[in-house]
Amino acid sequence: MSSEELPPVPRHYTKTVAERSFTGRDSGAEFDVRVEFGEPVQDVAVVNGMDWRCPMRLTVGSQVTVRSIIGIDSLQALQLAINLARVELEILATRPGTTLLYLDQQIDTSQADWQRSLV
């Protein structure tokens, strides 16, 4: 199979295997933030076989984004999904006027390695 014949990467979300919830505050209004990771599945056709995909769903208020992260095995796909979630949450936490809380504690973005507290 050549790269021109490969089907598109599947985009459906699988069963949630891990999740974390936050509370966001922006201009005094609160909103829910949730990151979910779907079960990694081996369903991405590549030239020499099949790769793994781990779906990641990020819900910020009423906005839902689903992404499919690809890896050579299930662990790499999951690790890459966690890294992407950390980046997405970091962008949200550093948005001007926005505060992100986990377990009712504000995430202190002024501390070194604060991103580790995200996921």
pTM for this one? Answer: 0.88
pLDDT tens, residue by residue, 89-106: 999 999 999 999 999 998
Phi and psi (nearest 5°) for 77? -60, -45
pLDDT tens, residue by residue, 18-43: 999 999 999 889 999 999 999 999 99
pLDDT tens, residue by residue, 37-79: 999 999 999 988 899 999 999 999 999 999 999 999 999 999 9
Centre a 10 Å sphere on the Cβ of residue 104 and count the other Cβ atoms it contains. 6
pLDDT at 36: 98
What is the C-alpha R_g of the chain? 16
Residue 2: pLDDT over 70: no
CA distances from 79 to 2, 9, 17, 18, 50 (A): 28, 18, 13, 12, 18
Distance CA 37, CA 6 (A): 25
